[in-house]
Structures are given as C-alpha cells and as structure tokens.
Amino acid sequence: MLSDSEGWYTTGIMKQFYLCEITTKDNLVHQGLYFEPSKKNKKAMLWVHGLTDNFYGDRTILETFTQYCESEGWGFASFNTRGHDVVASLTKVDPSLSKGRIHINGGAGYEMFKDCILDIDAGISFLINQGFSEIIIAGISTGANKVCYYEGTQDDHRVAGVALISPLSDVPIKQKELGKVYRATVKKVETLVAKRKADELILGYDYMPLTAARFLSLYRAGGAEDVFQYHREKSDTSVFAGIKKPLLVVLGGRDEYADRPMPDIKKFFDTHQRSSYYQSVIIPGGFHSYRGKEKEFVDAFASWIKPLWRH
C-alpha cells in the first residue's frame, strides 16, 4: 500500500459505488454511478465522460478521485450521456405508450452536441437531490467541450466550479488527418446535409459511423462544439470566456491528440480565461486519458480546489 504525504491516496482499495439512473428534461434515461462519502458535506463532483466513452470508462481515475472525495467528504457521480459509446439504444420515457417507454438511436455517432445541456443538468439535479449544494462539473476530452458549453451558456447557481480535462479541439485533429482533402471532405458532408441526409449514418468519413450533422459538429471550425479555438487565427472565445466561476484546465504533456506544442495550447486558455479563480497545469508525461498519471492528475485538482474550499 502506498500513500502520499497528505494520506488521502492509497492503491489497491476498491470503493463502493451505487448504480443509479437519471432522467433528463426531454425524458431520456441515463445509467450511472454514485459515490457517497462516510461523512459528507455540501460539496460534490459530476464527472462527464468523453467521446464514445461511458460512465465507467475512466475506472482508474474514478477510483482515484473517490479516494480523494472520501477524504474530503465529497459526493461523486458519473453518468452516461446521450453520446455514450459509438451507437447505442437510448430509453425514452413516454407515458402515452403501454410500456411507458420507447427506444431511440443514440451514441456518439447520433449525438446532437447542444443537448449536452440536458444531460449535465440532470446529473447536477441528481447530486442536489442527494443533499449536496455546491457542484463542480468536470469533463474530460469531449466532456470538457460539454461542461465548457454548459457553464459558458447557462446561468446555473448550483455550479460552484468547472474543471476542463484534456480540452482539445477535434477540428485540427481532423485537419491533420485529412490534409489537403479536409476542405473538400467538409463540403461533401455539407452537401449531404443540404440533401436532407443530416441524420443518416455515413461510413468512411471517420473511425466511427456517424451522421453527417455529427461529423460537421465535431470537425467543422466555428460550430457550437468548437469551444476551444486555439487552431484559428480569429478565434471566437465567447463561450470559454463566459466561464466566470473558478476554473481549472488540465493538459497532458504527452497528449497523443495534440497537433501543436502543449505550452502553446495552455497559453490560449491562459490568455482568454475570465474566471474569478483560475489555474492551468500540464501534467508531465501525461497522455490524453492520464493513464499511469492518475494520482498526479488528482493532485493537480486538489491543489486548485483546496484554497477555495477549506473546511
């Protein structure tokens, strides 16, 4: 067993999670997990997973985080979003039907980005119903885009802070992948949308099947999902700069998806943030998911939050 100097981190100890469900305002049912500390206070964290991931996909990070939450008396929850996995069947409550529910297409390939507001709202409401009143929303990868968009566009007094984990733009990733045919590919997909095929799955345009609308949401510059525009000469930073509450940005020093030096990406966030209390950090040797660097990642979170929330 290993422990750090503050005594909160131990390896090899499994924490107990409760399986639970939430229902969004548009009646979608999402599964997830909830951790309740032995001595809880009013603080909790909502973890929002990344593209094609799910509520249990970041298992080591979740277990490491909950060890910290136990030491601090925090609640913790993570739920599927409507974009979990690649293609998924989502349950939708419909009282007008004899079974009371139907199944609709979901998953990352079908997701409409702006609907993340409904998923995050439901997760926050769940934690409020468990007796917590100050919620940190933390998103990793595409989850970072979502929590940024949520806090940058919503006036939610329940949110006490925001953590953006591996907040990279998908646009330069696709630009680098496609090279000279990037613009032509975007125009081709735009044509599909113009032909009213926006919601049909297309193959061969990405590593996963996705609708034409989803392709453009992920990979066309300047859309609602493109909230981290460090790749543009004239960037629109209004959503990111709309985060006024305490803000943490965590970047992996060896993030395999970065298209430029990480200090340059960090500088973009440092320059355009307008938070009341801000920190940014690059985890040396950290990959996009922080595998093998989970403790360093949670340490960065702890150093940010402790000056704000000392008991």
Alpha carbons 162 and 243: distance in angstroms, whole number: 8
Q: What average pLDDT does the segment 17-40 reach?
A: 96
At residue 308, does pLDDT exceed 90? no
Q: Do 54 and 151 sit in the same domain of this protein?
A: yes
Q: What average pLDDT does the segment 139-168 reach?
A: 97
Q: Do 186 and 295 sit in the same domain of this protein?
A: no
Alpha carbons 146 and 217: distance in angstroms, whole number: 12
| pLDDT tens profile 56-81 | 988 888 889 899 999 999 999 999 99
- Confidence class of residue 3 from pLDDT cuts 50, 70 and 90? very low
Helix extents (H) in 112-211: 116-129, 142-153, 170-178, 182-194
- Partners of 164 in the beta sheet? 139, 249
At residue 12, does pLDDT exceed 60? no
| pLDDT tens profile 236-285 | 999 999 999 999 999 999 999 999 999 999 999 999 999 999 999 999 99
- Alpha carbon separation from 188 to 198, 208, 283 (Å, rounded): 12, 17, 39
At residue 4, does pLDDT exceed 70? no
Q: What is the pLDDT of residue 59?
A: 85
Q: Is residue 179 assigned to a domain? A: yes
Beta 88-93 vs 75-79: how paired, if at all?
Answer: unpaired
Q: Do 148 and 232 sit in the same domain of this protein?
A: yes
Q: How far is CA 89 from the centre of its chain?
A: 21
Q: Do 36 and 137 sit in the same domain of this protein?
A: yes
Q: Do 174 and 293 sit in the same domain of this protein?
A: no
Q: What is the pLDDT of residue 133?
A: 96
Say what the pTM is: 0.94
Q: Do 261 and 177 sit in the same domain of this protein?
A: no
At residue 1, does pLDDT exceed 80? no
| pLDDT tens profile 175-217 | 999 999 999 999 999 999 999 999 999 999 999 999 999 999 9
Q: Domain count of the chain?
A: 2
Q: What is the pLDDT of residue 307?
A: 83
Alpha carbons 31 and 238: distance in angstroms, whole number: 32
Q: Do 162 and 48 sit in the same domain of this protein?
A: yes
Using the 3D structure, point to which of 182, 201, 225 is the last residue of a domain.
Answer: 225
Q: What average pLDDT does the segment 133-139 reach?
A: 97
- Partners of 282 in the beta sheet? 251
Q: What is the pLDDT of residue 9?
A: 46
Q: Is residue 190 assigned to a domain? A: yes
Alpha carbons 76 and 136: distance in angstroms, whole number: 10
Residue 217 and residue 199 in contact, taking contact as beta carbons nearer than 8 Å? no
Closest CA to 31 of 97, 105, 81: 81
The 3-state DSSP class for residue 181 equals: helix
Domain coverage including residue 219: 170-225
Q: What average pLDDT does the segment 90-117 reach?
A: 95
Q: Is residue 311 assigned to a domain? A: no
- Confidence class of residue 8 from pLDDT cuts 50, 70 and 90? very low
Residue 150 and residue 120 in contact, taking contact as beta carbons nearer than 8 Å? yes
Q: What is the pLDDT of residue 14?
A: 58
Q: Do 141 and 96 sit in the same domain of this protein?
A: yes
Q: What is the pLDDT of residue 70?
A: 93
Q: Is residue 273 assigned to a domain? A: yes
Q: Is residue 248 assigned to a domain? A: yes
Q: Do 288 and 183 sit in the same domain of this protein?
A: no
The 3-state DSSP class for residue 266 equals: helix
Using the 3D structure, point to which of 225, 249, 270 is the last residue of a domain.
Answer: 225
Q: Is residue 8 assigned to a domain? A: no
Q: Is residue 268 assigned to a domain? A: yes
Q: Do 110 and 26 sit in the same domain of this protein?
A: yes
